[in-house]
Amino acid sequence: MKHTIVCSALFALAVSAGVAQQLPPGTHSVDDHSRQNALSEQISDAESALEKQDYKTAEAKLKVIAAANPKDGRVQYDLGFAEERNGEEPDAAKAYAASIADLPDFAEPKVALGLLDARAGKLEAAHAELTDAANLTAATPALRARALRVLAHLDETSNPAAAQEELLAALKLSPENPDDVLMSAELADRAGDAEDAVMAYRRALNLLPGDVDATAGLAHALQKAGKLAEADTVLSAGLKAHPQDAQLVAQAASLYAAEGKTADAIPLLEQLRASNPKIAADTDTTRLLAQLYYVNGDNVNAEKLYAQLLAATPNDPVLLDALGSAQVKQGHDAEAEATFVKTVKLRDAFHDDQAWGEAESHLAFAASKNNDPRTCLAALDARSTVLPNSPTSLFLQATAHDTLHQNKDAIAAYKAFLALAGDKFPDQKFQAQHRIIALQHVQ
């Protein structure tokens, strides 16, 4: 990569050094000529090293020049450029910041520092630096477009609407490339526009044949659009070429689960996790496998994985709810009740009230099985604040009142259950009808 900024920047230094101390007309200083010649030689050496991508030598030369000229923004940028390529990112960041302070209208160090901060997880700072660069009308269109594309990537998950605007702004400054097409597909997918996402992913695959991200994205969009057979075809081709790719395997497992092929999905994830310790430690992959175990009736392994995940995030209500459900399936009613009690206490951590209400339903069921009618009724009362009565909740309410010999309340709940049950729950209907008769005779 040629680094032409150095030549003009360092030449300007040489000129300024030559006129820094003017002498009377007709006279000259040997020392001035010596300093100028020495600086010119340093400039030439630094420029040559950068052109040859010999960044160690370039950095050494530029540090000498920068020490003598600490307020020269272009030299500081060149120094940061060399330091970054030598893996000295903290030093590079300082040099870029010095360049920005000296030349606030110079876009290159803003983009460079923005990229460094993004990689370091300093997203707020990166966003500000890249936004400044994108708004510098004096900068080249290509550089502004690059800043906008990076901003779009930063905003893709947290603010997809802003990412879409940034991508469109970039496309006004420079031609569309395959990565742009892929991002537009991902943004359409995030927006829930499966049909547009499918078309964009197909375009991306035409431009990037065999690309794993485009393949997985297309399969995901097809699955969301309900085109499971097409998604299966796309994934089969992708897995044939990349059998160990985590993204494709996870997408295939998700697809097989949607198709009811849980038994086919589980071995894929098990083999992948066994072959790659990093994937074995990946939260999303582990969570998916735990869910598949649960759906497939392997609650022992599901419980193990949920417990493993909760060791890292003990206050995740979704994981706690899943763990409690696996415990219920195994008949571990006391443990399940304790798990659900902890779950419902984390109301603020649920993504909505409905999910919290469902967790209260699960607590009521576990408490009923654990012969704890009072906790069951308390959970059903909490559930009723956010969810309407259902046949299941009314039957649990009726049996809890029945166990506590609260006969009037039990009869009322059994009757309410029968009114909602319709043609479903034949066993519970039979029990409710006979308990109503029995309780009425007691009164």
* Full DSSP string of 37-59: HHHHHHHHHHHHHHHTT-HHHHH
pLDDT given for residue 223 in this prediction: 92
Q: Are residues 347 and 281 in the same domain?
A: yes
Task: Show the domain range for 343.
Answer: 259-387
Please give the chain's pLDDT, 443 residues, in tens.
445 444 434 333 333 333 333 333 333 344 455 656 666 677 778 878 888 999 999 899 899 988 988 888 888 999 999 999 999 999 999 999 999 999 999 999 999 999 999 999 999 999 999 999 999 998 999 999 999 999 999 998 889 889 999 999 999 999 999 999 999 998 988 888 888 899 999 999 999 999 999 999 999 999 989 999 999 999 999 999 998 888 898 889 889 888 888 988 899 889 888 888 888 888 988 998 999 999 999 999 999 999 999 999 999 999 999 999 999 999 999 999 999 999 999 999 999 999 999 999 999 999 999 999 999 999 999 999 999 999 999 999 999 999 999 999 999 999 999 999 999 999 999 999 999 999 998 76
In eight-state DSSP terms, residue 113 is H
Whether 74 contacts 103, CB under 8 Å: yes
Total domain count, the chain = 2
Within-domain flag for 285: yes
CA distance 422 to 209: 54
Q: Are residues 417 and 354 in the same domain?
A: no
Whether 301 contacts 323, CB under 8 Å: no
pLDDT given for residue 334 in this prediction: 97
Residue 335: C-alpha distances to residues 298, 330, 406 (Å): 18, 10, 27
Domain boundary (387, 409, 435) is at 387
Q: Are residues 280 and 378 in the same domain?
A: yes
The alpha carbon torsion through 40, 41, 46, 48 (nearest 10 deg) reads 110
DSSP 303-369: HHHHHHHHHH-TT-HHHHHHHHHHHHHTT-HHHHHHHHHHHHTTGGGSSSHHHHHHHHHHHHHHHHH
Within-domain flag for 327: yes
Q: Are residues 286 and 313 in the same domain?
A: yes
What burial class does residue 272 get, using C-beta atoms within 10 Å of its C-beta: 0-12 exposed, 13-18 middle, 19+ buried?
A: buried
Within-domain flag for 199: no
Report CA 36 to chain centroid distance, whole Å: 54
**Which tokens belong to 339?**
């798990």
Q: Are residues 397 and 381 in the same domain?
A: no
Residue 354: CB partners within 8 Å, gap ≥ 6?
Answer: 386, 387
Q: Are residues 271 and 354 in the same domain?
A: yes
Closest CA to 321 of 285, 345, 296: 345
Q: Are residues 293 and 352 in the same domain?
A: yes
Within-domain flag for 222: no
The stretches of 174-276 forming alpha helices (DSSP H) are 178-190, 194-207, 212-224, 228-241, 246-258, 262-275
Q: What angle do CA 297, 298, 303 make, to 5 degrees?
A: 120
Within-domain flag for 71: no
CA distance 188 to 249: 23
**Could you tell me the end-to-end alpha-carbon distance of the chain, in angstroms, rounded to an integer?**
93
* CATH code of the domain covering residue 340: 1.25.40.10
Within-domain flag for 288: yes
Neighbouring C-beta atoms of residue 247, cutoff 10 Å: 17
Q: Are residues 367 and 288 in the same domain?
A: yes
pLDDT given for residue 39 in this prediction: 63
